[in-house]
Structure 1
Amino acid sequence: MSGAREEPMTFKVGEKVVYPAHGVGIIDSIQTRVIQGKAQTFYMLRILDNDMTIMIPTDNVAAVGLRRVIGKDMVSKVYQILRERKKKKPVDQQTWNRRYREYTEKIKTGSVLEIATVLRDLSVLKADKELSFGERKMLDLARNLLVKELSIAKAHPEEKIKQELEQIFSQ
């Protein structure tokens, strides 16, 4: 973008978006509510995975990390990260809780590339040793978040995406 100020991202009712750490949701409505005497406009976001509704102030979109589902160009970058094995840092030398905190921070960013990194690193680690309970939950969360978004981005059923991921990590 060439301007000095970035325009705030706006969404339409019915649009599918990604909310960090919760995954893909759909904008069900845009509502104005009076809170502490001040009118505020909210996106009413329904998370597809669990039907939870989240109210997001329209002027707070950037701060919470709400974003559009990735496009085809980003899909190939995700798969590239998932297939990358050579840059294996000494993950197994860190304590599990340090890794867990690091992975939690990456997932909180909402970046699909960071989530792909978490999935890759934990999948590679799982092949070498047993994961802690927290790491297994983190692996499942990262896989679930990626499957949902890739399924929408590629317009493929989730089952097909799961098979693709299994194939990548079984090599």
Structure 2
Amino acid sequence: MIRIGDKVAYPPHGVGVVEGEEKRTVGGREILFFRIKLLGKNMSVLVPETIIENSGIRPVLDEQEVNEIFQFLSEVPKNISSKWTVRHRLNVDRIKTGDVKELAIVVRNLSYRTKEKDLSYSEKRMFEEAFEKLSEEIALSLGKDIKEVKKKIRKILKEVKKQ
């Protein structure tokens, strides 16, 4: 169960803070909604209590998990397919999961791929989407400025040596 003040990830929309609860009548039934203010966006979403468990909403990373993500980003990836179609399908599937570790795989692998060859337009957009979501969650988790987090991630990725 989530509570007011919780920092949460809501995969289709991003990360945010549970700002409040609202009761609304829908179809003659009173339903409790949680209002989540999304980070970096001038919007909130209302999520009915009845779908919280199946919505993919989860707590943001803790500090130890963030450190594990930073460590993971610093590792040289293995077995990146040279076939664009295979890479694309795998990365789309990873982003759809909403799992931050899967986002980190996309960010790390596509960043590493740029050391060999420029990314296609589609892969650049995919990298930017995954990078943004990953950065937002880490920034919210640590209570840091998103620009600072992006700078740190870029530094980690830049230091990964091509093998």
1:11-46 C-alpha deviation (Å, 9 max, x unpaired): 222322111042211222211222222222111122
Provide closer, same or farther for how the CA distance between residues 139 and 21 of structure 1 changes in structure 2, counting only shifts above 3 A: farther
Paired residue type of 1:146: L
> Distance in 2 between the 1:19 and 1:149 partners?
10
Provide closer, same or farther for how the CA distance between residues 90 and 143 of structure 1 changes in structure 2, counting only shifts above 3 A: closer
How do 1:1-171 residues align onto structure 2 when only pairs under 5 Å count?
A: 10-85=1-76, 87-95=77-85, 98-171=86-159
Paired residue type of 1:52: M
Q: Which runs of 4+ in 1 moved over 4 A?
A: none
> Distance in 2 between the 1:45 and 1:122 partners?
31
Unaligned runs of 5+ residues in structure 2 are none
- Say if 1:92 and 1:125, in contact at 8 Å, map to a contact too: no
> Distance in 1 between the 2:29 and 2:127 partners?
42
Unaligned runs of 5+ residues in structure 1 are 1-9
> Distance in 2 between the 1:168 and 1:93 partners?
26
Using the aligned pairs only, state the percent identity: 30
Aligned residues: 159
Q: Tell me the TM-score normalised to structure 1 length.
A: 0.83
* Larger RCO (CA within 8 A; separation ≥ 6): 2
Aligned-pair CA distance for 1:111 = 1.3
Match of 1:149, SS state, is: helix
